[in-house]
A = this chain, B = another copy of it.
Amino acid sequence: MATDLKADFWKRIDNVQAGLLTASGERPVPMAPQADADDNAIWFITAAGTDPEKAAHGGAEAAFYVADPKADIYANVEGRLEISNDSEKLDEVWNAFAAAWFEDGREDEDVRLIKFTPHKAEVWLTESSAAFLYEVAKANLTDDTPDGGEHGQITF
């Protein structure tokens, strides 16, 4: 069911370390997502002057590509990118990894918070590796095709 797929999407993407973000048709670059189901948003922390930051000024259509075998999710997420000045949200999503990239930490003047609001996504949620290996083995024994997990379109 589409509702379950959306809930599962938010759960899985929470474990994704990084995906490729492309804004306004520019080159895809690796970005670390901060999933936020409550706000229907994926937050990114970046520095002033990066491609995504420049694209986000004034708003931009963007796509976020996820292909993470560890988090068992493959997705093409389409949405809108914008700069956020929400200081409380930045506190909320701030972490040790971001801290390590900015000389002056959270208060570094180059820190930028970007909000990505997904419109729609195509997602593939695979079984965990161990389960998938079992499915493959079973399929080899029984001539079945393996259970490949969930796949579908999500509208946000």
**Known pairs A65-B28, A69-B68; A74 contacts B18 (CB<8 A):** yes
| In the complex, A4 has a CB within 8 A of chain B | no
- Interchain CA distance A62-B123 in the complex, whole Å: 20
Q: Is the CB of B145 within 8 A of A100?
A: yes
- Interchain CA distance A27-B97 in the complex, whole Å: 32
| In the complex, A30 has a CB within 8 A of chain B | yes
Q: Is the CB of B67 within 8 A of A18?
A: yes
- Interchain CA distance A65-B21 in the complex, whole Å: 11
- Taking each of A69, A136, A143, which has the highest tally of chain B beta carbons within 10 Å of its own beta carbon? A69
Q: Is the CB of A69 within 8 A of B66?
A: no
List 23 A-B residue pairs with CB atoms under 8 Å apart, sorted by A's residue number.
Answer: A16-B69, A17-B69, A18-B74, A20-B65, A20-B67, A20-B74, A20-B76, A28-B65, A30-B74, A30-B124, A65-B65, A67-B68, A68-B69, A68-B70, A70-B70, A96-B136, A99-B140, A100-B136, A100-B139, A100-B146, A101-B139, A101-B145, A103-B143
